[in-house]
Amino acid sequence: MNKQLKVLFIGTYVPKECGIATFTFDLLNSVSGVHDDIHCEVIALNDPSEIYNYPEEVVFQIERNRLEDYYRAADFINQSDADIVCLQHEFGLFWGNAGDYIFALLSGISKPVITTMHTIIKEPEPEYRISTEKLIRYSEKLVVMSQTAVEMLKEVYKVPDEKIEMIFHGLPDYPFNNCNKYKQKLDLKGSPLLLTFGLLSQNKGIESMLEALPELVSQYPDLVYLILGATHPVVKKQHGETYRQYLTNRVSELGLEKNVLFHDKFVEKEELCNYILASDIYVSPYLSREQIVSGALTYAIGMGKAIVSTPYWYAQEMLSENRGLLVDFGYAEGFKNSLLYLIENPEECDKMRRNAYDFGRKMTWKNIGKEYNAVFTKALKQYRPYSGTKNRFNFLPDQLPEIKLDHLKLLTDNVGIIQHTNLGVPARHYGYSTDDVGRGLAALIQLIDSQEKSEELWKLITTYMSFLEHAQTDTGHFHNFMSYKRDFLDEEGSEDTLGRAVYGLGYVISCPYLSKNMRTLAHTLISKAGTQMKNLSYPRAKAYTMCGLYEMLRAGVDADSFESIFNSRRDAVRAVDSLIDRDTFESIFLSHADSLVDLYEANRKEGWEWFEPTVTYSNAKLSESLILAYNYTKDRTYRKAGLDTLDFLTETQWKGDFFDIVGNKGWYSWNGEKPIFDQQPIEAGYLTQAYISAYEAVRVRKYLELARYSFEYFLGRNRLQIPMYDSLTGAVCDGLNCDGMNCNQGAESVICFLLALSSLNKYADEAYSALFQPAVRSEGLTKKKNLLAANRID
């Protein structure tokens, strides 16, 4: 091999007491033992609240009931240098419907997956069929452990031959031995010694063996039946020791206390092998035919044991050609007769043992490791990685959606915008919010430019202006929350509330399509808020205020423009001494811009180009406000801070073909882990606006492309590949959670969607042009200098 092959295993892992954990451990060691240039690591699955002291090869852990852990694991795999992923699949290992949480991982990785199928269902319920078919689709190769499993995949699931690999269950390599040495080592009695081992559960069928024992014991009083293994942890959690107690009671009823032993413990592999080697006959009385593999039976075969088993699928295949005896399910008489035959015919018994042992040589872990390695090598040669953009998001439209105000109008009554919905139906008990009204005004004013003077826009704008005029307090601040009964619920809102109100009012003042009366009222409300605006301390409140003031300043609006109307109609507006002049607004604007730059310089550090130690909410609005400050002043200090922080948001959230927004479930600290879920659509909307502002400021083509991609977050370019926008109603879902989409459709979500759509609409032809050459590559952005490459559009 010219380079080291790196294999990443996914499954439960030692020291967890679980058959698949042991299998994964043995498989890893067999693969890594094939050649010095094979390096193996593990992603281990844990039950909720489990903590293990794992060996060093475990590099990542999944708490199997946490969907976000599967997404994180996918990110880890993509960023790792693993060549291939080897998944141990058993439905019960993974949470979700038929274990479908695993597909959050498989759908997001760009490495070939080799899946070892520990269970195959011949007649699956619909959810298990769907889950199996998805597993087949995501796997480059499927490894099964019997020819029966091969035929089942082909017949039931129509899997092509070339996708299936048959590799036996592995086993340790021991010499062919008699039992006495190991009986003495373990201080075990029994002549003969019968053994059943494995995690105890009702499907083991041990009661059938107990029923067979009285007549055997009457002829062979030294016979001992050893039942080795702890109760299965899932069974114990749900039912306690009910099954074990039932068996114990039955032993007493049959008078077998001297002949039946229970060893209630999980034994490590070496000790387990000693127990198997000490036994004369291994008994496998499973009750279910649908058993496609059994590690216990495999070990018994490979160690040359005489075997009596029920005819489950795996046993039928493995014990053919005189390698063991089969007894019908639950047939105690059959067990008795088969065991008598083996005890009373030692030569036939030894021949059967030798047949089993010889067959088992091909199943030793050394040979299994070679076979898996050959499959890995073959899969790597055949693997053709998919383009994430083409395959994951090929459902996205090739043009922007039309502007649709149905849902916004549904939320708006003659008072204001109802904040929240219950599954899309306005939830009146939540009342109204100035936060939504202020941003709603900004969105509507931008739509006037694109829709000219629409009557429906005029009505909405008038309603929102009326709300803000009523919400302003005597100090110039604004109430935020109003009940459906039209009572304000606070003394005054937060600083963010003030900033959002100014944000909307600034747009109103700058809009030439609105009446002078309407714009004068907006100027009056902002003027009254002047003292409050000067004294802001929170960065987002400053950013919102700057965005509103920028619209005024950019439009060249001055107090003189409204003075005559203001003076002649002072009785028509709420009391204010005078309208604030342009210089005062500019002073406030620049003061806030300088303070944001100072905040950035105080908190930035290597790998953390941000205003604060934590990335929280409304993030891109901070960057956008400084980019607007640069547009107004041409001061490169503002541009640098604005673009640096916007690029940092990109690097933090851009995954190469979609935006993975910082979630509200804890937010993202500079020395912490980025939360994945409770993603809010406001962040995608503000990113789109910020990218458009960046594009207008510096004409770097990448910003236009990123604006398109961040907007497409609403349309399904997100981690869950779920459209959040409903093109029929114009509604937008409220977020992405670990269990799927938040189907409530509140005011904030649709407003931020409209803000983003209006911004991107200005450049729709360029963003969706067939001649548009992507500047953001699918491998993602890892270095800021790549993002800032001066590919300009003049």
Cα separation, 147 vs 621, in Å, equals 60
Element (H, E) at 735: strand 735-737
Contact 745, 424 (CB under 8 A): yes
Question: What are the angstrom distances between the C-alpha of 426 and each of 436, 480, 571?
Answer: 14, 18, 36
Give the closest residue to 313 by CA, choosing from 338, 299, 334, 293: 293
Instruction: Tell me what pLDDT residue 577 has.
Output: 63
Residue 634 corresponds to which tokens in the numbers above?
Answer: 């041409």
Where does 5-170+370-385 sit in CATH, by number? Answer: 3.40.50.2000
φ, ψ for residue 86 (rounded to 5)?
-115, 105
d(CA 472, CA 459): 20
Tell me the per-residue pLDDT of 151-174, one tens digit each, with 9 for 90 and over.
999 999 999 999 999 999 999 999
Which residues, given as ranges, of the chain have pLDDT below 50? 1, 387-390, 770-772, 777-794
- CA–CA distance, 581 with 562 (Å, rounded to integer): 11
Q: Any residues with CB less than 8 A from the CB of 581 and at least 6 apart, and which?
A: 558, 559
CATH of 430-603, one of 1.25.10.10, 3.40.50.2300, 1.50.10.10, 3.30.70.330: 1.50.10.10
| pLDDT, tens digit, 9 for 90 and up, residues 328-359 | 999 999 999 999 999 999 999 999 999 999 99
**N- to C-terminal Cα separation, the chain:** 51
Distance CA 281, CA 474 (A): 92
Give, as one character, the DSSP assignment of residue 710: H
| Burial of 395: CB neighbours in 10 Å, binned 0-12, 13-18, 19+ | exposed
Give the right CATH number for 180-360 from 3.40.50.800, 3.40.50.720, 3.30.2130.30, 3.40.50.2000: 3.40.50.2000
Token pair of 533, please? 């605006």
Pair 713, 704: CB distance under 8 Å: no
Delimit the domains of the chain by residue range.
5-170+370-385, 180-360, 393-415+605-794, 430-603
Angle between helix 582-603 and 619-633 (nearest 10): 130
Sequence letter at residue 494: S
Q: What Rg do the C-alpha atoms of the chain give, in angstroms?
A: 35
Q: Please enumerate in sequence order all residues whose Cβ is within 8 A of that of 471, keeping only pairs 6 or more positions apart, or say none.
A: 434, 437, 478, 479, 480, 482, 488, 501
Distance of CA 618 to the CA centre of its chain: 23
Quick check: do 5-170+370-385 and 430-603 share a fold?
no
Q: Degrees (nearest 5) of the Cα angle 752, 753, 758?
A: 100
